[in-house]
Amino acid sequence: MVVLEVSPISTEELWSSVSDHWVLGHPPDQGLSLLSAQFGRAVNVRDALNQAMDEELERDERVFLLGEEVAQYDGAYKVSRGLWKKYGDKRIIDTPITEMGFAGIAVGAAFAGLRPICEFMTWNFSMQAIDQVINSAAKTYYMSAGAQPVPIVFRGPNGSSAGVAAQHSQCFAAWYGHCPGLKVVSPWNSEDARGLLKAAIRDDNPVVFLENELMYGVPFDLSEDVLQKDFVVPIGKAKVERRGTHITLVSHSRCVGFCLDAASVLAKEGVECEVVNLRTIRPLDVDTIEASVMKTGHLVTVEGGWPQYGVGAEICARVMEGPAFNYLDAPAVRVTGVDIPMPYAKILEDHSVPQIKDIIFSVKKVLNM
Amino acid sequence: ALSLQGARMVLSTRFFTDFTPQASFDIKKCELHRLEAGPSETAVLTREQGLQYYRTMQTMRRMELKADQLYKQKIIRGFCHLYDGQEACAMGIEAGINPTDHLITAYRAHGYTFTRGVSVREIMAELTGRRGGVAKGKGGSMHMYAKHFYGGNGIVGAQVPLGAGVALACQYQGNNQVCVALYGDGAANQGQIFESFNMAALWKLPCIFICENNKFGMGTSVERSSASTDYFKRGDYIPGIKVDGMDVLCVREAIKFAADYCRAGKGPIVMELETYRYHGHSMSDPGVSYRSREEIQEVRSKSDPITMLKERMLSNNMASVEEIKEIDVDIRKVIEDAAQFAISDPEPPLDELCNHIFANDLPMEVRGTNPWVKLKSVS
């Protein structure tokens, strides 16, 4: 994260005012123009997703978007803003509130030669349609012995938001990450969002694309390379966001940012963290994780979802079963969301998700500091 | 009530040139819902068509009976839902649509797999789980696919939104094709079917929703499952047609009407085919705890679709008894040959285990049952 000196208000005041805007998901117009003046093209995650979809819709006429409010409302979270105006009713389709029906329709369209992007307003609602995602999409290529591919992307915001309570805050990375036949990706920043969405749309297989609402308004610098129309981030490859030597932090989605913040704090105490951004949940890039653990000898996984049978649990199991185990100087541990339905009150919600101090605490415990 | 048209058997031999090239038959008028006019009440059948329909339906019949035999011998395992009794539905539909149209059904799918172009050999070898099966042994009874045929689907009702999606693709691509999406009376109460009706009607998708009403959803009669058993009316705002599903000509005329309707851009249409299955729900169901043997016998003797067609052909001098017998003998050979293949073909090789997870992808590693087993997967 970048801190700017801007008069007349103090950095802290700017940071808290800007981060409030960003956390609530409204476009931080002030923030963007300030950043771009300093660092070149800053694009927030929402716009990165929007541009990726726009470019892929233009590139391949078989691509289309359907979901609730994606067209005339410009998207419940404005991710599809402007697309209906540009592409019209045929390619940007507003659906009734019938997830099972429209997810099935999307899969059927993929069977018959189109390349649908099916939006779930949040991944919580995908539970209504999960049979279509798993049984109709994920398993079909296998059941047909390769006769019937299913080139579909399911996308939408996943995990906790702010104040939306238990039924709207669940993380589905572990649920979908469990199933063969699916690719499951979980971008953190704008480069991830842009590159992974393009890769997902171009992939001939069902991709579960887990976004994060609290990241939509957060801007990141995108280089010219990243802004090229054919820029893709390969699915199945993690990225080392920060090199370090003492401990490996493995995370996905918004928690990657927290890991980097924790790493900055820990660096002042002489602890250098290596931060691995998974980018893809399934297939898991075990090689990158193992290489890092073999270098640092210590592992902490960080995720927003619940601990039991979660992403961190899988990472730890894989490290146990592979060559990296022999390099561990301490047991691997997980930092996760608290094992409860998400409460509403702010103080309770804040204490239900991993905070930077939780990551710092766990790192120090693992390093026996 | 289901009943055959009256027929006389003609037992003398004839020269082929003596046969009637085609005849026109009066067929049962369809009950209509929200339609001013319905399918034609007469059907023209040519000799060629008649022989083709007979051959196809008889092949389906014999194939299912052979599957029954193989299942009892434990050569077929797992689920096996047989279609005998319902042949006129699959045949009539195929006769009324084009090969370029699309079709999707549920798990009682062997008949449709055949009418959509898969050989008996490949179907039976799939049932016995061999490498020569249409899905290389990886799908089984409920998961067979062909061009413009999307299975074979195991989850009750899920195939209906899928079918509506195929229809969306047809509309999107502007190819003038339609999709036939089938479901049973048991599935007819599924919420996702009503969700599909809504979207298909809203967007005027070229989708023909067809309820094959064979009176029982597993062991539950329609009276015990459905507050309304007028399945052709359940589309509410969508027009519906109720069809005698034991009469292949009735089915054909109805589907022709429905396909024309959809192709004209008028939106979806619902059809209910009244039909009957002789077997129980699946091979593990004797089929007599929830219905009587007498009822089954009555349908067999009075409404059998193959018998009905045969008697029409014979009584109108469109075929001879010998000719029909020859076809039967030929079909028996085809079935025997297919069964032999299905029994003798080897099972899929173990290195196929992990293939076909992803399409158009680089080879990848798949974890076996323990961490030391690393298996290979190719597209």
Positions of A annotated as catalytic residues are: 99, 168
Chain A residue nearest residue B352, CA to CA: A145
Distance of CA B63 to the CA centre of its chain: 13
Q: Is A294 on the interface with B (CB under 8 A)?
A: no
Residue A39: the pLDDT is 47
Question: What is the least distance, in Å, from the CA of A230 to any CA of chain B?
Answer: 18
Mean pLDDT value of segment B14-43? 91
What is the value of ipTM here, to two decimals? 0.94
Chain centroid, CA A366 distance in Å? 26
- Tell me whether residues B191 and A149 touch, CB distance under 8 A: no
Q: Tell me the β-bridge partners of A183.
A: A207
% of chain B at pLDDT higher than 90? 95
Average pLDDT score over residue span B8-21: 64
Task: Give the one of A96, A149, A321 whose C-beta lies nearest to B199's C-beta.
Answer: A96
B192-229 residue pLDDT tens: 999 999 999 999 999 999 999 999 999 999 999 999 99
Contacts of A111 in chain B (CB under 8 A): 150, 162, 165-166, 169
d(CA A21, CA A25): 6
Chain A residue with Cα closest to B159: A104
Q: Do A98 and B135 touch (CB under 8 A)?
A: no
Neighbours of A368 (CB within 10 A): 8
Tens of pLDDT along B241-267? 999 999 999 999 999 999 999 999 999
- Greater confidence (A13 vs B49) lies with B49
Nearest-CA neighbor of A83 among A109, A119, A57, A118? A57
Query: Does residue B126 contact residue B108 with C-beta atoms inside 8 Å?
Result: no
Q: Distance of CA A21 to CAs A137, B73, B231, Å?
A: 37, 70, 53
Q: A218 near A25, Cβ under 8 Å?
A: no
Q: How confident is the model at residue A26 (pLDDT cuts 50, 70, 90)?
A: very low
The pLDDT-based confidence of B15 (bands split at 50, 70, 90) is low
Residue in A114, A204, A283 closest to B169 by CB: A114
Give yes or no for residue A86 having a pLDDT over 90.
Answer: yes
Closest partner residue to B165 (CB to CB) among A104, A181, A205 is A104
Angle at B27 between CA B25 and CA B28, to 5 degrees: 165
Q: Is the pLDDT of residue A144 over 50?
A: yes
Q: State the angle between helix axes of A99-111 and B191-203 in degrees (0 to 180), rounded to the nearest 10.
A: 70
Pairwise CB contact (< 8 Å): A108 & B153: no
Q: Which residues in chain A touch residue B368, judged by CB atoms under 8 angstroms apart?
A: none
With an 8 Å Cβ cutoff, are A144 and B162 in contact?
no
Q: Which residue of A has its CA nearest to B170?
A: A112
What is the mean pLDDT of the segment spanning A143-152? 98
Distance CA B136, CA B126 (A): 7
B143:A204 CB<8 A: no
Confidence of residue B14 (pLDDT cuts 50, 70, 90): low
Token pair of A219, please?
């801007």
Q: How many CB pairs under 8 A join A and B?
A: 150
Contact B258, B197 (CB under 8 A): no
Instruction: Determine the Cα–Cα distance for residues A258 and A262; give it in Å rounded to an integer.
Output: 6
Identify the pLDDT of residue A202.
Answer: 98
> In the prediction, which pLDDT does A40 show?
53
Closest-CA distance of chain B to residue A155, Å? 18
The pLDDT score that the predictor gives to residue B28 is 96
pLDDT band at A87 (very low <50, low <70, confident <90, very high): very high
User: What are the pLDDT digits (tens) for A283-312?
Assistant: 999 999 999 999 999 999 999 999 999 999
The B residues from 350 to 369 touching A (CB cutoff 8 Å) are 355-361, 364, 366
Does the pLDDT value for residue B137 go beyond 50? Answer: yes
Computed over every residue of chain B, the mean pLDDT equals 95
Is A76 within 8 Å of A102 (Cβ atoms)? no
Element (H, E) at B31: strand B31-33
Instruction: List the single best residue of A57, A91, A143 to mutate versus B (max B Cβ within 10 A).
Output: A143
Q: What pLDDT does residue A6 have?
A: 43
pLDDT at residue B38, as a whole number: 97
Contacts of B356 in chain A (CB under 8 A): 141-142, 144-146
pLDDT bracket for residue B18 (50, 70, 90):
confident
pLDDT for res A34: 46
Say yes or no: A118 contacts chain B, CB-CB below 8 A.
no
- For the stretch A326-347, pLDDT in tens is 999 999 999 999 999 999 999 9
Do the Cβ atoms of A98 and B162 come within 8 Å? Answer: no
- Interface residue A143 vs chain B (CB under 8 A): yes
Residue B222 near chain A (CB below 8 Å): no
From the list B137, B169, B191, which residue is nearest A112 (CB)? B169
Q: For residues A216 and A367, what is the distance between their CA atoms, to the nearest angstrom?
A: 34
Cβ–Cβ below 8 Å for B135 and A102: no
Q: Look at A26-30, B167-171, B178-182, B325-329 and tell me which has the smallest mean pLDDT.
A: A26-30
| The dihedral sign for the CA sequence B218, B221, B227, B230 | positive
Average confidence (pLDDT) over B51-59: 98
**A100 has a chain B CB within 8 A of its CB:** yes
The tokens for B312 are 């029409």
A218: buried, middle or exposed (CB in 10 Å: 19+, 13-18, 0-12)?
buried
- Give the side-chain half-sphere CA count within 13 A for A215: 28
Q: Does A204 touch chain B (CB under 8 A)?
A: yes
